[in-house]
Structure 1
């Protein structure tokens, strides 16, 4: 599982990377808000660890952006031990926990695991054909193999999967992607996202069997359902 670490202290980044690697977690680190948002749009993460104070932007800004990209992903703030304001503000912004610096390694890994366990029960896995989407971990697989999606592609697939085989209009899809991207999505742009998504989840993209077009109206997923185990 990938861990997003947003921290500008290279000593902490190195120590956390070694510690979490030993726990089977892959750390991907950056130091600025813009870098964190860009990285979150390209990669899927099981959890995020955010420092409050950054050279550019803040942990609170990163938290807000991550909530739009991956609403179910647990976020933990890294705070100074006596910084009560940041602790409260972080929890109110949507974080599930905070960890005071300096860290005690065993406590840190225990609290990360606890957050992941709580998150694992937050949402069922969605399935259509041989495609599965796990909203809790923000991951997608096809026939058991990982599918790498951009933030836009993931959001598009999530909206369609959550409709459980019902029609989703083009307008509804544009609105959903607009909410995620923060910018208006033209009709032609939606066509591009649908085509790119089909290239990743269909056996034959030109003859789709999973992501179906309802001509003149919108799209739906074939045989979409939830998987609870």
Structure 2
């Protein structure tokens, strides 16, 4: 589970983002200003920092500069929409990416995962039972034999693996597929994708042990 430091002084944004990121399997700690953020970095180890440019106590540029001078911590800036100066300054200070406000939560989660992969902060190999996923090569094998998944099936499998042990509702899964497909995906289509994925990764698709159905709630990967 990746640990994120959210440096933001807007309590509503902190509350909403913490809920979204927590639901995506991330562990989140927040800091409201420059001093609190730098103290948190000294006290704890984080995998990524989400950093607002404008803070009531200090500013995001100073935080980024201090962090990049002493830690190998990926930084994503949260900037006001259209603020080109902030974007350029943040990238010149060594930030890995930026997201303009207002942003879609799904887009932010996608950017976070992309930066974590690029910076080697995520596991390259994910495994459950005899299923093995090499996320660097996008290679899926079962019992040593390669499984050929479509792009959407692979995206769905990664979503399950990144939320291992968590019950995922059909709505959560539909949102994930919808983003990947770029078009509306209905409930029946999700059922088809789950069925196809199970046929490729389960030893006995009629009695699935990897992607389990939790009646009335959704699905869960593993026990």
TM-score by length of 1: 0.51
Cα distance change on mapping 1:85 and 1:26 into 2, 3 Å: same
Structure showing greater relative contact order (alpha-carbon pairs closer than 8 Å, 6 or more residues apart): 1
What is the match of residue 161 of structure 2?
none
CA contact (8 A) 1:41 1:69 kept: no
Aligned to 1:13: 14
- Kindly tell me the number of residue pairs found equivalent between the two proteins: 122
1:185-219 Cα distance to aligned partner (Å, 9 max, x none): xxxxxxxxxxxxxxxxxxxxxxxxxxxxxxxxxxx
Work out the CA distance in 2 between the residues paired with 1:121 and 1:15. Answer: 24
For 1:118 and 1:96, locate their aligned partners in 2 and report how far apart those are by CA, in whole Å.
Answer: 9
Shift of 1:23: 1.2
Matched residue, 1:74 = 74
Q: Is there any run of 5+ residues in structure 2 with no aligned partner, and where?
A: 123-223
Deviant stretches of 4+, over 4 Å: none
State the 1:68 CA deviation: 2.6
Deviation of 1:27 after TM superposition, in Å, equals: 1.0
Deviations 1:89-111 (A, max 9, x none): 00001101000111101111000
Cα pair 1:7 1:51 within 8 Å, conserved: yes
Residue number in structure 2 paired with 1:132: none
| Deviation by residue 1:158-194 (Cα, 9 ceiling, x = unmatched) | xxxxxxxxxxxxxxxxxxxxxxxxxxxxxxxxxxxxx
CA RMSD of aligned residues (A): 1.7
Does the Cα contact within 8 Å between 1:40 and 1:69 map onto a contact in 2?
A: no
Residues 119, 15 of structure 1: alpha-carbon distance in 2 compared, 3 angstrom cutoff: same
Partner in structure 2 of residue 94 of structure 1: 94
Could you tell me which residue of structure 2 aligns to residue 157 of structure 1?
none
